[in-house]
Amino acid sequence: MTTLPKIDRDEVSAEFFDAAASGRLLVRQCANGHFLPPTQGFGGPAIRCQICQSPDITWQPASGSATLVSWVIPYTRTGEPSNVAGTVELAEGPWMNALIDVEPDASLHAGQALTVCFIPTEGGETVPAFRPA
């Protein structure tokens, strides 16, 4: 099983991690129906929708279906392959960076159908990851 370092929640991410712990993936959606990635890069989550600038953003359930966009296999200092990381496009539209839960030598291809799974971190939260559907 894949092992991930500890991740801690904060006030903004608490609902996301509560859902992940119960096997549900949440994405953020504005009042006008635009989906946002669960995380918004550096500096934490956006406080407004990127498309319409609505400040009314809530967590909504996502299907858990995704398509593989890109992936990378990092290597440790000793030359051993590490966990596979990737970018997936959720069925709802936003892209998300996540662990791809496969062996480093697995055959992957852009456009591959994926489904969400959930992986506990060491002493921290459960996080969504993706594996071939």
Helix H or strand E encompassing 88: strand 84-90
Q: Give CA–CA dist 96/38, Å, rounded.
A: 7
Radius of gyration of the chain (CA): 15
Q: What is the pLDDT, as a whole number, of residue 12?
A: 80
Q: What is the pLDDT, as a whole number, of residue 11?
A: 84
Q: What is the pLDDT, as a whole number, of residue 2?
A: 64
* 119: phi then psi, degrees, rounded to nearest 5: -125, 130
pLDDT in tens, the chain (133 residues): 566 788 888 888 889 999 999 999 999 899 999 988 765 544 556 778 888 999 999 999 999 999 999 999 988 899 988 889 999 999 999 999 999 999 988 999 999 999 999 999 987 899 999 999 9
pTM above 0.85, yes or no: yes
